Structure 1
Amino acid sequence: MFSPFFKLFIFFLVNIINVQSQHNYFRCPYRYESVEESFRENKIIRDLDLDETQIYDNIQFIPLKYPNSDKVTCGAYLTKKATMKEPQVTFDPAGKKKGADKKLFTFMMVDPDAPTPRNATSRSILHWLVVNIKGNNMKTGTTLAKYLPPAPTPNKGAHRYVFLIYRQPKEVASRKTYVTLQERSNFQVTSFAIQNRLSGPLAGNFFNEAVQN
């Protein structure tokens, strides 16, 4: 039989592991800051005009990985060649609660630095938009904007490419698609969220990319 002291030790150890796991759920891997702290430090919340009253207590981390490239880890620098094809997205904002697979989510990728970081008159370029995602299965969603590879202006500095996940109260009825660059330009993240009554962002990630001639 285990002694009361050993049982107490195991109890505290399990709780420490659970707390640490929960803490890491909102933390950028390999970095000493949370996703929200990274977003604020890199002025993403400000430049995307995210409604801070809608941001959950903590922004979860969205795991992403491009083919033949490193994982996207809150501000990593990636090359144009590495980001030509859409990344693999894995997320679980619904959790493993009963009925979580029936919850609906919106996933988007935007560039707030177009055409250049110093003159972002096209803020933001919509690079990817999928709505009505059931649970964490991206394949169940409706794609309103197909993946558009990053194309930062050469020799004008790095662009931030931001990924966001919002929760939907119901199915997004809009069937508007974004195909041309003109249709994708000046996409307003917060306006879209308010119009469709989205909550969040509850998860995020981003990377930087620059082109030097």
Structure 2
Amino acid sequence: MGGISKSAIVLLLHLVITDKVFAADIISPIASEFKANRIVPDVIPFAPNGKLWVAYQSAIEVEFGNELTPTEVKDIPFVWWPWEMSPNEYYTLAMVDPDAPSRSVPTSRNWNHWLVCNIPGHHVVSGETIAEYVGAGPGEDSGLHRYVFLVYKQPARIVFNEPYLNNRSIANRTGFSIYDFAKKYNLADPVAGNFFVAQYDNYVPILYKQLGIKDIMSIEV
């Protein structure tokens, strides 16, 4: 009987330690950053645990809330997630702004800046672009906006029934919910993410002209 009790105690201790380690793994530093910057719950209910590498020209990297300028992020970045994967595994990449037109009055949350689906492995250029890339365009005096990148693993290659959005118009970009989109296509929770913040600079009027916005005070992206 004594031997059985000792074995039970050892097993119980093992389970307790395992639970603690597992819980520590869930609350990753990346998830903590998403919560501290209120991306959880403003954009998604649960944070990813994996880091998404995002780099713009001149080796400018996105690093969990660092401040970049609209000029620095005007072109499509290089995006990469590091784990090994098969080209038969497909992913969805999204970039959204939850702070349009401002963080204090986010009536256009979320603004869809970029959406690429059916990405084989991490080869973004081979994916299906649903929303062409539009860089940061926060309005003058609207403060810092958060720009959030998320990657979701797809259960398989998917036929996405969504309108194609080019980068010459703002049509169908406001009020986008990446959470609802993921739920609609059974994408579960994001597996990786990153984000930066930006505020107005002199590139913003150029971007608005590209998007066909005549009254730059009426819409902020």
TM range, smaller chain: 0.7 to 0.9
The reply to whether residue 207 of structure 1 matches residue 196 of structure 2 is yes
For residue 174 of structure 1, report the CA deviation from its aligned partner: 1.6
For residue 172 of structure 1, report the CA deviation from its aligned partner: 2.3
User: How far apart, in 2, do the equivalents of 1:211 and 1:72 lie?
Assistant: 18
The reply to whether residue 81 of structure 1 matches residue 40 of structure 2 is no
Q: Whose Rg is larger?
A: 2
Equivalent position of 2:53 in the other structure: 63
User: How far apart, in 1, do the equivalents of 2:45 and 2:145 lie?
Assistant: 22
TM-score by length of 1: 0.76
User: How far apart, in 2, do the equivalents of 1:168 and 1:156 lie?
Assistant: 35
For residue 69 of structure 1, report the CA deviation from its aligned partner: 4.8
The reply to whether residue 195 of structure 1 matches residue 184 of structure 2 is yes
Q: Is the 8 A contact 1:107 1:166 kept in 2?
A: yes
For residue 212 of structure 1, report the CA deviation from its aligned partner: 5.9
Equivalent position of 2:84 in the other structure: 96
Could you list the runs of 5+ residues in structure 2 that have no partner in the other structure? 1-25, 203-221
Say which of 160, 178, 190 aligns to 1:174: 160
Q: Is the 8 A contact 1:107 1:165 kept in 2?
A: yes
Task: State how 1:1-213 maps to structure 2 within 5 Å.
Answer: 34-48=29-43, 50-52=44-46, 59-92=49-82, 95-96=83-84, 100-176=86-162, 177-179=164-166, 180-211=169-200
Moved over 4 A (4+): none
User: How far apart, in 1, do the equivalents of 2:81 and 2:45 lie?
Assistant: 22
- Report the AA paired with residue 178 of structure 1: L
- Report the AA paired with residue 148 of structure 2: V
User: How far apart, in 1, do the equivalents of 2:146 and 2:139 lie?
Assistant: 12
Q: Is the 8 A contact 2:70 2:201 kept in 1?
A: no
User: How far apart, in 1, do the equivalents of 2:158 and 2:42 lie?
Assistant: 25
For residue 211 of structure 1, report the CA deviation from its aligned partner: 1.6
Q: Secondary structure at the match of 1:153?
A: coil
TM-score by length of 2: 0.74
Identity within the alignment, %:
32
- Report the AA paired with residue 158 of structure 2: V
